Amino acid sequence: MNTVNIARPADSAVSVKSDRFLRLVLRLDAVATLGSGALMAAGGGLLAEPTGIPAGAAHGIGAFLVVYALAVGVLSFRPVINRAAAWTVVGLNTLWVIDSVATLVAGFWELTAMGTGFIIVMAVVVAAFAELQYVGIRRLK
């Protein structure tokens, strides 16, 4: 009798039992990202004057964040979390932080103090999510 091993490689997926912390962090990231994305997508015009972030940029960034939040949320509810997908979230969150710093340093937009603060706060929150997601992935069995 022949048998077929259909087990997944250890690096590609993990069991639901060992990923509780990572799921929580991914879900919190998705909710926070959805909130900020919806705010920027819907209220980009209202945010332009007090922040200095151009309305068109805010709308575009907001739309991207809404889609990204939905993808992260879907990942968090999958029966098995794919490690590569989780690492991709960490990488994209890290890239967001780097881009935020670059935006501030380069003076890409004529930001107000509120706009600078907005970008800094978002970058700090995203960095925290990236770190917590990193910890969550490292805890996987």
Domain boundaries, the chain: 18-139
Q: What is the pLDDT at residue 141?
A: 75
Query: Is the whole model's pTM more than 0.75, yes or no?
Result: yes
Instruction: Tell me the C-alpha distance between 114 and 86, whole Å.
Output: 32
Q: Which residues pair with 13 in a beta bridge?
A: 82
Instruction: Tell me the C-alpha distance between 16 and 106, whole Å.
Output: 43
Q: What is the pLDDT at residue 82?
A: 93
Residue 31 one-letter amino acid: V
Note the helical H segments in the chain.
20-51, 55-77, 83-106, 113-139
Residue 92 one-letter amino acid: L
Q: What is the pLDDT at residue 108?
A: 87
- Residues 39, 99: contact at Cβ < 8 Å? no
Query: For the chain, which residues score pLDDT lower than 70?
Result: 1-17
Q: Which two tokens stand for residue 83?
A: 């490690």
Q: What is the pLDDT at residue 12?
A: 53
